[in-house]
Amino acid sequence: ENPGYPGLRSKIVAQGAEIVPVRVDSEGIVVDEIFTLKEIPRLVYISPSHHEPSGAVLSLARRERLLAWADRHGVFIVEDDYDSEFRYRGRSLPSLQGMDQGGWVIHLSCLWKVLSPLLTLGFLVVPNRILGLMNTAKALIERDLPIIDQFALTDFINEGHLDRHTRKARRLYSQRHDRLIEAIDRHARGKIVVAPESAGMDLLIKINSAVDSEAILDLARSADLDLYSTRDYYLEDPPEREFIIPFAYMDENSIEEKTAQFCSRL
């Protein structure tokens, strides 16, 4: 995906793989551009439930077409489900792994955004065709995994605490998401365009101003507003004046004031 998470790109390149960027729009990755690549890729890595940084969710139609293409050509899809628990608009869509009939989807996720960054546990749901390979890989690193954390998390899930906690967190983050958008609408005077997508813990915005990106970041710091450029998310052709605001951990009582101060400085 272009844009996409920069930390992932560096790890893939370090393994000697060639990355082919594919554009993302409001419905997620543009799958038609995958189908028309000069060479069929060996693997497609996507985040269909929450694209970073846009928050876009891959549409059901695109999910179905991508799965059919992967089955036809024998291409593995890595479904990165990171941060997918937090969607604030529209109905939830089934995971690619849940829709997969051909056994080509590798589903991966973690719970540290839901629970705590200190919980460094992730999980994979893999197709039967590579189960033996994955079991071997797991055995090689098993000694490095926190076994007590695994037992505690198992009980936490089985007793229903994870579902309850996730619902509570989703309500809280939804309130902050909506409050931030409302504050921008009141104070930005058309200078800030909010992306229509609504998943994850960050809000994607574009700023209509003659002020350059570095100066805008300085203005945000002066208003004590956390603001980050999306430049590093792009493999090529990064846009100017595009940013994310991590709203999930904002103090609700400060959202209005910080937004107003920032907008008044633009």
Quote the tokens at residue 35.
């189908």
Query: Could you say which architecture CATH assigns to the domain 163-265?
Result: Alpha-Beta Complex (3.90)
pTM given for the model: 0.88
Select the CATH number that applies to the domain covering 6-158 from these four: 3.40.50.300, 3.20.20.150, 3.40.640.10, 3.30.70.20: 3.40.640.10
Position 239 pLDDT exceeds 70: yes
Q: Above pLDDT 90, what percent of the chain?
A: 68
Amino acid at 143: R
The answer to whether residues 67 and 100 touch, using CB atoms and an 8 Å cutoff, is: yes
Per residue in 97-136, pLDDT (tens digit) is: 999 999 999 999 988 878 877 677 888 999 999 999 999 9
Distances in whole angstroms, Cα of residue 87 to Cα of each of 75, 90, 92, 124, 177: 28, 8, 8, 21, 10
Q: Do domains 6-158 and 163-265 have the same CATH topology?
A: no
Query: Domain locations in the chain?
Result: 6-158, 163-265
Per residue in 10-30, pLDDT (tens digit) is: 888 898 999 999 999 989 999
When mean pLDDT is compared across 6-15, 58-67, 128-137, the lowest value belongs to: 6-15
Per residue in 76-105, pLDDT (tens digit) is: 999 999 877 787 777 788 999 999 999 999
Distances in whole angstroms, Cα of residue 255 to Cα of each of 2, 174, 176, 182, 219: 30, 13, 8, 10, 16
pLDDT score for 198: 67
Q: Which of the four pLDDT bands, split at 50, 70 and 90, describes residue 159?
A: very high
